[in-house]
Structure formats: structure tokens, C-alpha cells
Amino acid sequence: MKMNDTIVALATPSGAGAIAIIRVSGPEAISIVSPLFNAKSGKLLEKQPTHTLHLGNIIDSERVIDEVLVSVFRAPKSYTGEETIEISCHGSPYIQQEIIQLLVRKGCRSAEAGEFTLRAFLNGKMDLSQAEAVADLISSENQASHQMAMQQMRGGFSNEIQRLRQELLDFASLIELELDFAEEDVEFANREEFKKLIQRIQNVLKKLIDSFATGNVLKNGIPVAIVGEPNVGKSTLLNSLLNEERAIVSEIAGTTRDTIEDEMAIGGVGFRFIDTAGIRETKDVVESIGIKKTFEKISQAQVVVFLLNAEKFEVRSSSLSASGISPEGGELSELKTEIEKIRNKFPQKPLLIIANKADKIEEAGKESLIAELNSIAQNREKAHFLLLSAKTGAGVEELKDKLLDFVNTGALRNNNTIVTNSRHYNALLSALEEINKVQEGLKMGLSGDLMAIDIRQALHHFGEITGEITNDDLLGNIFANFCIGK
């Protein structure tokens, strides 16, 4: 990508709108736009100071294309660090295209995706992780992902990495200095202090690495699988959670054959609900493919909502107690087996057991049912039980609260740095690996020259995050995922 030319792009979404912004950045930005702009004040754009706004017409020879507002940003005081002009025109696609084509005829080049932000990075306006956060910020759809992106864009994460990198660099220099005095057997780098620093770096790296699990989940939406036998009301629950008729509901068992997913923010956190095909023995080929997929989805989910029909258990338990037979022998033990199966298959998954169709059972039966199910849930860590009605919506709010409880939003609340980017995550893992080697070296009394190699490696991985160490392929990759005009 060339850097010394002047680029132009629409910064607002394509299509009609009230107003559209056309961005021009590069050494010729002001000199190209100036002769095309007739200011109402009669002032020449080229003479205007930075961060000023001007009303006037964009003209192509004699023809007025539009009445616009033009902002002037002078290098290096702009988003990109270059001379920048922004033209706010009326949002007709025709006007937008006319102005952009005029600018291209006068010597601008159409910007590539992310090129404005790439220039901001290359001009030192932000580091690489901050540039990446700009893209995350634009795609953020809820409070959690917005907060994480904002924190990263403002440099919270980079600062932490930068600090560690500097301290490590200072030690590396001291150790390398010792090498110059090899004959004299001096020790500039205090080994005890160095050990402490390495320990501290390890702790920070581990904390950041651990935060990725939370960050990744918060960024992409927490996957919640809704599973259970056919007809228990899974699709009804999905619709109730989403507040829309997303999935087909019917009294026929086996209605949902393929998984259905949709997102919804609860308390500022994005959740991705996955309605699945009811689990049962079946000879139907299509249905059994759907059931296979259900198990796949359970394995990918962060939380499993296991739905059952409360009615089935209520009827049985009252008739059973009347006849004096232990409920153990009936549906409840069947249920226990069912839950046990899921527990064995996915021992780590938080499980929410939900008795649905609460509206159909009698008040009197509710208590014994809740007690019974709670005793099943109690045996298991991370398992909870709720009675609700997907149809009437009673208890659905409680379910939402429970789901939020499952998410460890503590890290977010405490304003801790959360790693959301897999590139950063990989660099952190590699850095930790090198730091561990340095620690081993210290323990074994490894010579300075060998230790210096591992330290340099660790520094390299820190530099990858902030972009001190980079290459064209990597930059191309990162910025290609931006939108044009950003």
C-alpha cells in the first residue's frame, strides 16, 4: 500500500441517509479540495487553520454539486496524522458518488479497507492493539463488548504490556552489558531482583491469558444451548427469551429438526441462544442428524439449559404419593438418569434444569416438585433448578438473572483488562513460554548470553501485540477486515 498519496472514501454507510461524510487524507488533501470548494465566507480553504468548519458549495467547474460542510484537520493533528478534509454532504448516493468521482479525477485514490486507521497506526497516532480495538468498537453490539473495545482503544492493555516490556528491556540491557565485561566477572543485573520481575511478569501474563476465556465469550456472545426431550417447550422458551416468534412451535413432537440460533443482550451481556432438536430415540434419518447436532451444540455451549415438562412429574408424584409408591421408581428416577447422562458427558458444563409448563400444574404440586428437583440439582456443582412457563413468560426473568449469574462478569466490573483478540492471546502464550524459559535459566544459573536470547524472544512477542514488531502480511490481514472509510 502506498503511503504518500491522498486517499478518499465514504466514511458513513453506503446508501441514502440524512448526511454522508466523505473523508480525504494525505499530503494533497487540502490542496485538492480547496479549489473545488466555494466557501460562503469567501475564505480560501487552504488558508484555514486546523479543526475549523466551513459552509459552502462543492463545485465541478461551474456546476454546483451540493451545499456542504467542510472540516479541516492539519497534519499531524488529525485522526490519521495527515492533512485531512471531511466533507459532510447531503446523503444521496448520487451526490456521494459525484463528489468522490470528482476527487478521484482531481488526484485522490480510493482508499482500501482500514487504510485511514492503518495510516493512523503507521504515523504513531495509536499502536496496533488500539487500531484493532477500533474495529471491535465499530462492531460492538452490547455494553460488555463496547466496554472491552473502548478500554483497549484507550490503551489500557497496551500500557500494561508496554510497562512490562520496558522493565524487561532494562534488564536485558544490563545482562547484555555484562557480556561486554565477560573477563571481569561482574554482575550488573541483580539476579534476585530479576527473579522477582520475572515472577511479576508471569503473574500478569497468566492473568491476561486467563481473561481471554471471558473476553472471547463476552465478545462473541455466550452460547446457551436449550436441550431436552421433544415437546417440552424449547422453541417456546427461545421465542420468549428473544421476544419474537423466531422458531416454529407446535404440539407435534419433533418440530425442531435443525438448530436455531439468535442473539440477545441481557444486562449488557450478549447471549447466543441455541434451540435444538428434541433428544429421543428415532428411526427418522433427518431427525437423528438433528439430534447429533444437538450434542455438538451442547459441547460448544457455555451454559446448558435442560428443559423438562413439569406436568409429567407433577401428575406422577401426586398419584405416586397417593398410592404410597416411592417416586424414585417412576419418572423422577428416569429424569435423574437423563441428567446423569448429560453430567457424565459434559462434566464441566454449568447446567440449568428447568421445569417448564408451570402454568399447567397445581399450586400444591409445585412445592414438592421443586424440593424433588432441587435435591437432584444439589448433587451437582454449578447446577440450578427453576420452575417456569415459557408460554406465559412467568419465571423467564428469573432465568435471565440466573444466566447472568453464570457469567463471570466480575472481571468486567472491576475494570480489569480483558484480552479479546486471539492474536494477542497467542502472543501472550508465546511470551509466557519464553518467560518460563528465562525463569528456568535463572534457577539453573544459566550464563547471561543464553538467557539474553530467551529474554529477547519474550520481548519480541510483547512487541507483536503493540505492533513494534510487525510485517506487511500481518498488517494487511488486520486492516483488510476493517470497513472502507475507517
Ligand X SMILES: Nc1nc2c(ncn2[C@@H]2O[C@H](COP(=O)(O)OP(=O)(O)OP(=O)(O)O)[C@@H](O)[C@H]2O)c(=O)[nH]1
Ligand Y SMILES: Nc1nc2c(c(=O)[nH]1)N(C=O)[C@@H](CNc1ccc(C(=O)N[C@@H](CCC(=O)O)C(=O)O)cc1)CN2
Give the annotated binding-site residues for K(+).
231, 250, 252, 255
**Whole-angstrom Cα distance, residue 110 to residue 473?**
21
Q: How far is the CB of 161 from ligand Y (least distance, A)?
A: 22
**Whole-angstrom Cα distance, residue 163 to residue 281?**
58
Which residues within the stretch 260-279 sit at the binding site for ligand X (CB under 6 A)? Answer: 277-278
Which of residues 100 and 308 has its CB atom nearest to ligand Y in the complex?
Answer: 100
Q: How far is the CB of 480 from ligand Y (least distance, A)?
A: 18
432 binds, among Mg ion, ligand Y, ligand X, none (CB under 5 to 8 A by kind): none
Tell me the CA end-to-end span of the chain in Å, nearest whole number: 15
CB of 21 closer than 8 Å to CB of 79: no
- Choices 70-78, 174-182, 248-256, 398-406; region in contact with ligand X by CB under 6 A: 248-256
231 binds, among ligand Y, Mg ion, ligand X, none (CB under 5 to 8 A by kind): ligand X
Which of residues 99 and 238 has its CB atom nearest to ligand Y in the complex?
Answer: 99
Which residues within the stretch 373-432 sit at the binding site for ligand X (CB under 6 A)? Answer: 389-391
Q: Which residue is nearest to Mg ion (CB)?
A: 256
Which of residues 112 and 261 has its CB atom nearest to Mg ion in the complex?
Answer: 261
234-242 vs 396-406: helix axis angle to the nearest 10? Answer: 80
Nine-digit cell string for 101: 468521482
φ and ψ of 357, to 5 deg: 65, 40
Q: What is the SS3 assignment for 431?
A: helix
* Residues contacting residue 217 through CB under 8 Å, at least 6 positions apart: 223, 302, 407
Number of residues that bind ligand X (CB under 6 A): 23
Nine-digit cell string for 198: 520475572
**Whole-angstrom Cα distance, residue 294 to residue 279?**
8
Place of cell 464441566: 348
**Burial class (CB within 10 angstroms; exposed 0-12, middle 13-18, buried 19+) of 116:** buried
Q: What is the SS3 assignment for 73?
A: strand
Q: How far is the CB of 348 from ligand X (least distance, A)?
A: 25
Which of residues 79 and 313 has its CB atom nearest to ligand Y in the complex?
Answer: 79
Place of cell 444451548: 225
CB of 308 closer than 8 Å to CB of 228: yes
Q: Which residues are annotated as a binding site for GTP?
A: 231-236, 250-256, 275-278, 356-359
Which residues within the stretch 214-273 sit at the binding site for Mg ion (CB under 5 A)? Answer: 234-235, 255-256
Which of residues 79 and 479 has its CB atom nearest to ligand Y in the complex?
Answer: 79
Nine-digit cell string for 402: 440466573
Which of residues 126 and 298 has its CB atom nearest to Mg ion in the complex?
Answer: 298
In what side-by-side order are the strands of the sheet with 109-110? 37-39, 52-60, 63-73, 84-90, 19-25, 7-10, 109-110
Place of cell 397417593: 322
Q: Binding of ligand X at residue 253 (CB under 6 A)?
A: yes
Q: Which residues are annotated as a binding site for Mg(2+)?
A: 235, 256
Q: How far is the CB of 363 from ligand X (least distance, A)?
A: 15
Which of residues 22 and 307 has its CB atom nearest to Mg ion in the complex?
Answer: 307
Q: How far is the CB of 382 from ligand X (least distance, A)?
A: 23
Place of cell 460542510: 69
CB of 308 closer than 8 Å to CB of 350: no
Binding site for ligand Y (CB under 6 A): 21, 51, 73, 76-79, 86, 125
390 binds, among ligand Y, Mg ion, ligand X, none (CB under 5 to 8 A by kind): ligand X
Nine-digit cell string for 457: 524472544
Q: How far is the CB of 330 from ligand X (least distance, A)?
A: 22
Q: How far is the CB of 16 from ligand X (least distance, A)?
A: 40
**Whole-angstrom Cα distance, residue 460 to residue 478?**
19
Q: How far is the CB of 403 from ligand X (least distance, A)?
A: 18
Helix (H) or strand (E) holding 226: strand 222-228
86 binds, among Mg ion, ligand X, ligand Y, none (CB under 5 to 8 A by kind): ligand Y
Is omega for the bond preceding 76 within 30 degrees of 0, making it cis? yes
Q: Which residues are annotated as a binding site for (6S)-5-formyl-5,6,7,8-tetrahydrofolate?
A: 23, 86, 125, 486
Which of residues 293 and 460 has its CB atom nearest to ligand X in the complex?
Answer: 293
360 binds, among ligand X, ligand Y, Mg ion, none (CB under 5 to 8 A by kind): ligand X
Nine-digit cell string for 409: 462478569
Which of residues 1 and 483 has its CB atom nearest to ligand Y in the complex?
Answer: 483
Which residues within the stretch 224-243 sit at the binding site for ligand X (CB under 6 A)? Answer: 230-236
Contact footprint for ligand X (CB under 6 A):
230-236, 249-251, 253-256, 277-278, 356-357, 359-360, 389-391
Contact footprint for Mg ion (CB under 5 A):
234-235, 255-256
